[in-house]
Amino acid sequence: MSGSSLGDEPVTLSGPVPPRAPLPMPAQDLRQPPAATFTRQAWRVHLARLVAFGGAASLTTFGALQMGKVFDPSSDGAMQTTLVVLVTLTFGWIAFAAAAALAGLLFAPRRRPGLAEAPLGRTAIVMPVYNEEPAATAGALAAMGDALAELGHGRAFEIFILSDTRDALAWARETAVFAALRERLAGRMAVWYRRRPHNKAKKAGNLQDFVERWGGRYDYLLSLDADSLMAPATIVEMTRRMAAEPTLGLLQTLPTLSGGHTLYARLQQFAGRLYGPVVARGTAAWQGDDGNYWGHNALIRTAAFAASAGLPELRGRAPFGGHVLSHDFVEAALLRRAGWIVRMDPDLDGSWEGAPPSLQAAAVRDRRWAQGNLQHLNVIASAGLRWPSRAHFLIGVGSYLASPLWLLMIAVGLVMTGQAIFIQPEYFPNAYQLFPDWPRFDAVRMRWLFVGSMFLLLLPKLIGLVSALADAPTRQRFGGAQRLIPGAFAEIVLSALYAPIMMLIQTRQLIEILAGRDSGWAAQSRSGSKLAWPAALRRHWRHLLTGIVVTLGLLYAAPQVLPWLAPVLAGLLLAPWLARISGDPALGATLRHWGLLTTPEETVPHPVLTVAEAEARLLRPLAELSLHDLARLEAARSRHAASLTPSDAEGVDMLASITARAKIAAASSTEEALDWLTETERCAVLAVPDLLDSLAEGRQRAVA
């Protein structure tokens, strides 16, 4: 491949994109697997799988037997059987998480350093963007590019921004920031920019288009999200590991949530930072070389990806058919099916991403993820997949089915409580029976089963907390035990309150998906704000009403049940308020001042995090460019025109181009023309330089 020997080859930046280097990426046949050979898994992986899956099966069987003994074995009514099944399923889900955490504790993967002398090849740092705030994305890229160049690896890496932006204003700001980023790294690292005229197949299609146009130029591609940031030493280590292991097709890091300032973001990033390594070690331990891909912060061997991971269009209509939404799981499974190693190395730190800033933002993201994971049911039976890949699909589906299962379990329990209170039991079912059949319910056994469930649920958190407290450097980076322990307690309480709200939200989303309602692909929210009371009540009145009705009903009929459901009911009763404060930056700042939910990235920030924030601040004025400024400033128009490729003009809707030209000619000023133009017409103006010049001439006419 062209990138395998770089030497002192100069980087030519004559245009916004490098010379074409096509690499075919054919869609894979899910019914016909490719010929492949697989290396033997390490013995530690087999033992970890025994602990994770065998332990989960054993615990689930035990839980099911105990639940069966709670009720009278001679009474096997439909409601009772349903409750036993639901409890068993939810208990099994909790048991697997706990068993996997134990597997990671006992059989954590050993460190696999790369060879220091291994050639780096050429790597594309690929960042797909879609209507994003460009200063933050470019700030992260500037920090990574500058640090890599300082390490002497500027020639081995190239930055490639892949835009699917559809908003004209966001596009204009992207090109302004791109020009500044290129100037910032001039002579030290190549920076490229390409906007697709049509965003076919969303992010997966964007990456495929990149591979098919320029994949032959690169040995590896580092896949990022718009909110990703990675330490340069981590990036270099990843390329060395991949260079030293020719069968390694994809290397996934554990991205740490950081940079959040709202309550909800701080809650997630604290939990991820404290408990995430426990989950990651467990997952890495049992998956071994049959790993998964999370869509970002991962290094991919370009040739393997092109030959093995081309996504087919799924049969059927949306939401189950069409283009693959959660493409990452499928691409990992296809790579592994072809014999490539797909692995997560949890020792690779220095990998970050942003967190949803509010409950509403998390719900919007979860809606798309839920549809994407359910869509995997169309892929799970594909020929040639390894069983751990199928397990990844099932785990993804299970993570969203857990909410309706939990809701059904609560509902069935309430119905059975109502039956016990309002329906007179039949004490003498037989005509000649001398002694009554008293209803049996083993409350003590049920109580211990509940305690066991809570222990398993909290076990990964306890492992993470104890591990952090036991390691002095980690403990100090969390602010010491005096901040770590209260933070962990606050996280458990707040997560318990938000959980029932997400339970109802995810259940409703699943119903909408099963009814055929497509989630679409909306731009993600990266910043938070305090939700107004009317909006909070409008979005969560159903949750509040559910909490009120159930609470009043239990107070009247079965107050002894209230303690069991108190966490669930408290979350529902507080739902509007919890949603309102979830995105509040001021509350997040207060918590940080108190030292609650503090993460190591705040107490001892990595230098690249600090540099990325500084770079973003410098670029932010450019990211405030208006379309009127673009027409007014010749230098801004020149920079924008320099970012265009022939495909930009070729992708313009002809009718939009014609109507835009007519409106600009008829308008008396730039302001009037911009008011008249539709969004499609504005994009046409930005794609055709002479149309943009005509818009500028309209301003000159107005001045004259």
- What local confidence, expressed as pLDDT, does residue 430 receive? 63
What's the one-letter identity of residue 393?
F
**Model confidence at 101: pLDDT above 80:** yes
**Model confidence at 196: pLDDT above 90:** yes
Average pLDDT over residues 522-530: 72
Cα 110 from Cα 95, distance rounded (Å)? 25
- Using alpha carbons, select from 571, 512, 579 the residue that is nearest to residue 547: 571
**Model confidence at 522: pLDDT above 90:** no
The β-bridge partners of 94 are: none
Band of pLDDT at residue 439, cut at 50, 70 and 90? low
Per-residue pLDDT of 141-164, as tens digits, reads 999 999 999 999 999 999 999 999
- What local confidence, expressed as pLDDT, does residue 2 receive? 42
- What local confidence, expressed as pLDDT, does residue 703 receive? 46
- What local confidence, expressed as pLDDT, does residue 524 receive? 66
Look at 95-109, 235-249, 609-623, 643-657 and tell me which has the smallest mean pLDDT: 643-657
**Under 8 Å between Cβ of 352 and 256:** yes
**Model confidence at 406: pLDDT above 80:** yes
- What local confidence, expressed as pLDDT, does residue 702 receive? 47
Average pLDDT over residues 690-701: 78
Domain coordinates in residue numbering, the chain:
627-703
Residue 386 class from Cβ within 10 Å (0-12 exposed, 13-18 middle, 19+ buried)? Answer: middle
- What local confidence, expressed as pLDDT, does residue 527 receive? 72
Cα 277 from Cα 299, distance rounded (Å)? 19
pTM over 0.85: yes
Average pLDDT over residues 334-350: 96
**Model confidence at 489: pLDDT above 90:** yes
**Nearby residues of 76 by Cβ (< 8 Å), 6 or more positions away:** none
Average pLDDT over residues 382-387: 97
- What local confidence, expressed as pLDDT, does residue 290 receive? 98
Regarding predicted confidence, which is higher, 157 or 595?
157
- What local confidence, expressed as pLDDT, does residue 103 receive? 97
Average pLDDT over residues 546-554: 96
Cα 163 from Cα 166, distance rounded (Å)? 9
The whole-chain average pLDDT of the chain stands at 91
Per-residue pLDDT of 389-401, as tens digits, reads 999 999 999 999 9
Per-residue pLDDT of 627-658, as tens digits, reads 999 999 999 999 999 999 988 888 888 999 99
Per-residue pLDDT of 444-469, as tens digits, reads 888 999 999 999 999 999 999 999 99
Per-residue pLDDT of 116-146, as tens digits, reads 777 889 999 999 999 999 999 999 999 999 9
User: Residue 704's CB: how many other CB atoms inside 10 A?
Assistant: 5
**Model confidence at 704: pLDDT above 50:** no
Cα 396 from Cα 388, distance rounded (Å)? 12
Phi, psi (degrees; rounded to nearest 5) at 122: -120, 130
From start to end of 235-332, where are the E strands?
A: 248-252, 256-257, 298-301
* Continuous segment of H or E residues that includes residue 127: strand 123-129
Band of pLDDT at residue 4, cut at 50, 70 and 90? very low
Per-residue pLDDT of 410-437, as tens digits, reads 999 999 888 777 766 655 556 565 544 5
**Under 8 Å between Cβ of 129 and 194:** no
- What local confidence, expressed as pLDDT, does residue 1 receive? 47
Look at 312-326, 392-406, 611-625 and tell me which has the smallest mean pLDDT: 312-326
Average pLDDT over residues 362-370: 91
**Model confidence at 575: pLDDT above 70:** yes
- What local confidence, expressed as pLDDT, does residue 425 receive? 61
Look at 102-106, 249-253, 649-653, 655-659 and tell me which has the smallest mean pLDDT: 649-653
